[in-house]
Amino acid sequence: DTAVSQTPKYLVTQMGNDKSIKCEQNLGHDTMYWYKQDSKKFLKIMFSYNNKELIINETVPNRFSPKSPDKAHLNLHINSLELGDSAVYFCASSQSVQGSGEQYFGPGTRLTVT
Amino acid sequence: SQQGEEDPQALSIQEGENATMNCSYKTSINNLQWYRQNSGRGLVHLILIRSNEREKHSGRLRVTLDTSKKSSSLLITASRAADTASYFCATSSGNTPLVFGKGTRLSVIA
């Protein structure tokens, strides 16, 4: 059984469009995250949610809006996509609130904006 | 600012050899973690070492932590082709989120 799943795996879209990426975890964890990994493999935290509440929002443009309908799901909606948004987006979860414990990652969503 | 910095950026070894990767960081930490990322996949947690620990083992993995030098090393013994991946260190400090380094790309040649 997949612990952290993301859909879609690949997303190709044009500039200006709006798209969403979905994430689900079946580990019973309280905390979920979104990361962005750029072409140089640098992984940067974007958001962190604990029990549906936003606890971390790094300097991410407000075109990015996370939504957590319940603690097992954390979706990422992106408005007005730009070329620079092209990257791999990873969802992750952990039991600890402050992100200090082990994190479980999804397989990633490769977003290409043309 | 980025916390962990792995060294080297890339490493190529023969199967059966040992691989050593290093990670340096800048501020005090609660713990340091190592993750592996196979090409096109998500990160997989390998090992966590707390700030009051100096060494930890897990199978063929050995991690050391030197808080006085703010550095950690990951040793993979008797490497296999399947160990080919990128390896990232990540540091946990206070209430801040995990901060990942840029990773070391390990290639194990059969």
The two three-digit tokens of residue A57, written as one number: 């929002």
DSSP state of A3: S
Q: Which residue in A4, A43, A108 is closest to B100 by CB distance? A: A43
CA-based nearest distance B48→chain A, Å: 7
Strand partners, B71: B24, B66
The two three-digit tokens of residue B63, written as one number: 């991690």
Q: What is the pLDDT of residue B96?
A: 78
Instruction: Determine the residue type at A83.
Output: L
Q: What is the pLDDT of residue A1?
A: 62
**φ, ψ dihedrals at B83, nearest 5°:** -80, -10
- A7 pLDDT exceeds 90? yes
C-alpha B50: how far from chain center: 14
Contacts of A49 in chain B (CB under 8 A): none
Cβ-defined contact of B102 to A42 (cutoff 8 Å): yes
Confidence band, pLDDT 50/70/90 cuts, at residue B93: confident
Q: What is the pLDDT of residue A59?
A: 78
- Ramachandran category for residue B16: left, alpha or beta (phi over 0 → left; psi -120 to 50 → alpha): left
Residue among A56, A74, A100, A60 nearest A20 (CA): A74
Q: Which residue in B42, B92, B102 is closest to A105 by CB distance? A: B42
Q: What is the pLDDT of residue A63?
A: 95
Terminal-residue alpha carbon distance, chain A: 34
Mean pLDDT across A59-80:
93
Cα–Cα distance for residue pair A5/A90, rounded to 1 Å: 10
Mean pLDDT across B66-73:
96
Cβ-defined contact of B92 to A99 (cutoff 8 Å): yes
* Chain A interface includes B48 (CB < 8 A): yes
- B35 pLDDT exceeds 80? yes
Q: What is the pLDDT of residue A66?
A: 92
Taking CA atoms, what residue in B is nearest to A58?
B97
* Number of residues written out for chain A: 114
Q: Which residue in B35, B48, B95 is closest to A98 by CB distance? A: B95
Confidence band, pLDDT 50/70/90 cuts, at residue A11: very high
Q: What is the pLDDT of residue B3?
A: 61
**Portion 60-89 of B in contact with A at CB < 8 A:** 86, 88
Contacts of B102 in chain A (CB under 8 A): 40-42
